[in-house]
Amino acid sequence: MLAEEPAIKILGCDSDELFIEELEIGRFGGWTASGRDMLSFVDVIALVWGVWSFAVFLVQGLGTFVL
């Protein structure tokens, strides 16, 4: 989650309605103002695969070090 960014982005006002762009913060697994999880399926896959491949690199590195 991007901590420096505003939690919501105000796009404009029309009478008493406030438009916000939820995806701006949902993209990195943050939470929207309404509390819905916006972590997309693609993000979850990327996260899991990223962690997995990093772990494999670590194990490989250890194996190479020992050898």
Partner 1 sequence: MRTMPRHLSDIRNRRYKLYDSPRKPGASIKLKKDDIPHVTVIRPAKGLEPQLYECLACAFRQDYPVDKVTIYICVASQDDPAYQIAKKVVDDFPDHDAKVLVEEEDPLLHGQGGHVDNLGPNPKIRNISRAYREAKGDLIWILDCNVWVAKGVLGRMVDRLCGYQHNGKLAQPFKFVHHLPLVVDITDQEARATSAPEREQLLPSPSSGTHPIDSANDGGPFSTLGRAFANGGGRLDEMFFATTHAKFYAAINTVSVAPCIIGKSNMFRRSHLDACTDPALNPILSSSDASRPRGIDFFSSYICEDHLIGDLLWRSSSCLPGYAAGYRFRNHGLVYGDVCIQPMAGVSVGAYFARRARWLRVRKWTVLLATLVEPGVESLLCSFYFSFAVTTALGALLRHRSDGTPWASSWTAMFVIWLATVLAWAVLDWFVSHRLHEGRAIEADADSPRFARGTGRCGGMPRRTLREWIPAWIGREVLALPIWIWAVLLGTTVTWRGKRFRVHTNMRVVEIEARGTTGKRRSGLAAESRRTPETENGRARSKDRVD
Question: Taking the complex as a whole, how short is the minimal distance between the CB of residue 65 and partner 1, in angstroms?
Answer: 6
Closest separation in Å from C-beta 13 to partner 1: 22
Q: How far is the CB of 34 from partner 1 (least distance, A)?
A: 20
19 near partner 1 (CB under 8 A): no
Binding status of residue 1 toward partner 1 by CB under 8 A: no
Residue 22 contacts residue 32 (beta carbons within 8 Å): yes
Task: Decide: 19 and 10 in contact? Cβ < 8 Å.
Answer: yes
Tracing tokens 């962690």 back to the chain, one arrives at 51
